[in-house]
Amino acid sequence: QVRLVESGGGLVQAGGSLSLSCTASGRILTIGDMAWFRQTPGNERELVARITGALEPSYAESMKGRVSIVRDNAKNLVTLQMNSLKPEDTGVYFCNAENVRMMGRSSIHNYWGRGTQVTVSS
């Protein structure tokens, strides 16, 4: 099994910043895209940002200008820097690793972290 562990969530006031990190561990051979999703109260899980194995980022339109995603392939680490946070950003943020190849296995799998809570107070 591949394990994704998120960190960096917490409580921040509106206008503040948080940096979320996710590290993938296990017998990993390669990982395709890595991404951050979130689930806010009353809404479906939505994409916040993703970054390819070639380190090309993309962002949800609502997040552009406020977030930045970076990745360290050598460490299987992805970080989401969030700025100018708003109360509506409150929710659980999930790390996602797509098209993961494991050593000794031919199949490809998608993995999710357990999520980290982000709370933005007004």
Which ranges of the chain have pLDDT less than 50?
none
- Scan for tokens 């509106």, then name that residue: 14
pLDDT value at residue 1: 84
For residue 27, the model assigns a pLDDT of 95
What 8-state DSSP symbol labels residue 20? E
Q: What span, in angstroms and rounded, lies between the C-alpha atoms of 73 and 75?
A: 5
Instruction: Extract the tokens encoding 102.
Output: 């494991």
Within its chain, how far is the Cα of 80 from the centroid? 6
**Residues 73-92: tens digit of each pLDDT:** 999 999 999 999 999 999 99
pLDDT of residue 76: 94
Distance, in Å, from the CA atom of 30 to the CA atom of 108, rounded to the nearest integer, reads 10
What pLDDT was estimated at residue 62? Answer: 86
DSSP string over 22-80: EEEESSEEE---EEEEEE-TTS--EEEEEE-TT--EEE-GGGTTTEEEEEEGGGTEEEE
Are 98 and 108 in contact by the 8 Å Cβ rule? The answer is no
pLDDT at 68: 98
Question: What per-residue confidence (pLDDT) applies to 64?
Answer: 86
